Chain A
Amino acid sequence: MHIDAIKNGIVIDHISAGRAMQIYDMLSLDKLDCPVAILKNVPSKKMGRKDIIKIDCDLQIDLNVLGYVSPSITVVYVRDGVVAEKKHIGLPERLTDIIRCKNPRCITSTEQGIHHVFRLVDPAGGVYRCIYCDAKAEPQNR
Chain B
Amino acid sequence: MRHLIDILDLSAEEIDDLIATAGDIIAHPEKYREACRYRKLATLFFEPSTRTRLSFEAAMLELGGQVLGFSEASSSSAAKGESVADTVAVVGGYADIIAMRHPKEGAPLVAATRSEVPIINAGDGGHFHPTQTLTDLFTIRREKGHFDNLTVGLCGDLKFGRTVHSLIAALSRYSGIRFVLISPEELKLPSYVKEAYIKQKHIPYEQTVSLEKALPSLDVLYMTRVQRERFFNEEDYLRLRDSYILTPEKMRLARPDMIVLHPLPRVNEISTEVDSDPRAAYFRQAKNGKYIRMALILMLLGIRVGEEQTYAH
Binding site for B on A (CB under 8 A): 103, 105-114, 121, 130-136
Interface of B is mostly: mixed
Known: A105-B126, A111-B110. A132 touches B83 (CB 8 A): no
Complex-state Cα separation, A106 to B110, whole angstroms: 11
Please state if A132 and B109 are interface contacts (CB–CB under 8 Å).
yes
Chain A interface: which of B35-43, B100-108, B216-224?
A: B100-108
B residues 180-218 touching A (CB-CB < 8 Å): 192, 196
Chain A residue nearest to B108 in the complex (CB): A107
Contacts of A136 in B (CB 8 A): 192
Which of A107, A113, A121 contacts B105, CB < 8 Å? A107
Contact A130 B83 (CB under 8 A): no
Binary interface encoding of chain B residues 111-129 relative to chain A, with 1 for a CB under 8 A from any of its CBs, else 0: 0000000000000111100
List residues 125-155 of chain B with CB under 8 A from any CB of chain A.
Answer: 125-127
B85 within 8 A of A: yes
Residue total for B at the interface (Cβ-Cβ under 8 A): 17
Nearest neighbor of B109 in chain A, beta-carbon distance: A132
Shortest beta-carbon distance from A111 to chain B in Å: 5
The answer to whether A111 and B105 touch (CB under 8 A), given A105-B126, A134-B127, is no
B10 at the interface (CB under 8 A from A): no
Chain B nearest CB, measured from A46 CB (Å):
31
Distance in angstroms between the alpha carbons of A112 and B105 in the assembled complex = 15
Contact at B83–A133, with CB atoms within 8 Å?
A: no
Q: By the criterion CB–CB under 8 Å, are B110 and A105 in contact?
A: no
Q: Is B89 an interface residue (CB 8 A)?
A: no
14 A-B pairs (CB sep. < 8 Å): A105-B104, A105-B105, A107-B84, A107-B106, A107-B107, A111-B83, A111-B84, A111-B104, A113-B83, A113-B85, A132-B105, A133-B106, A133-B125, A134-B127
Which residues of chain A come closer than 8 Å to B107, judged between CB atoms? 107, 111
Q: Which residue of A lies closest to B102 (CB)?
A: A107
3 smallest beta-carbon distances between A and B, as pairs: A132-B106, A133-B105, A107-B106
Q: In the docked arrangement, what's the CA distance between A133 and B124, Å? A: 9
A131 contacts B106, C-beta separation under 8 Å:
yes
Known A111-B110, A114-B110; contact A106-B105, beta-carbon cutoff 8 A: yes
B109 touches A131 (CB 8 A): yes
A112 near B127 with CB under 8 A, answer no
Taking the closest CB of chain A, its distance from the CB of B172, in whole angstroms, is 16
Closest to B126 in A: A105
Contacts of A114 in B (CB 8 A): 85, 110
- In the complex, A111 Cα to B109 Cα: how many Å? 12
Let me know if B106 and A106 touch, CB within 8 A: yes
Cα–Cα, bound, A106→B84 (Å): 13
B126 CB contacts on chain A under 8 angstroms: 105
CA distance A121 to B85 in the complex (A): 26
Specify which chain B residues have a CB less than 8 angstroms from the CB of A109 in the assembled complex: 104
Contact of A106 with B85 at beta-carbon distance under 8 Å, contacts A132-B109, A132-B110, A134-B127 already known: no
- Bound form: Cα–Cα A136–B195 in Å: 15
Given contacts A111-B110, A114-B110, A132-B109, contact A106 B83 (CB under 8 A): no
Smallest CB separation, B76 vs chain A (Å): 14
Question: Closest Cβ of chain A: how far from B133's Cβ, in Å?
Answer: 15
A105 partner, pick from B85, B109, B125, beta carbons under 8 A:
B125
Closest A residue to B195 by beta carbon equals A122
CA–CA, A106 and B107, complex, Å: 8
- Nearest CB to that of A130 among chain B residues? B106
Could you say which residues of chain B place their CB within 8 Å of the CB of A130? Answer: 106
B105: A residues at CB distance < 8 A: 103, 105-107, 132-135
B124 cross-chain contacts in A, Cβ below 8 A: 107
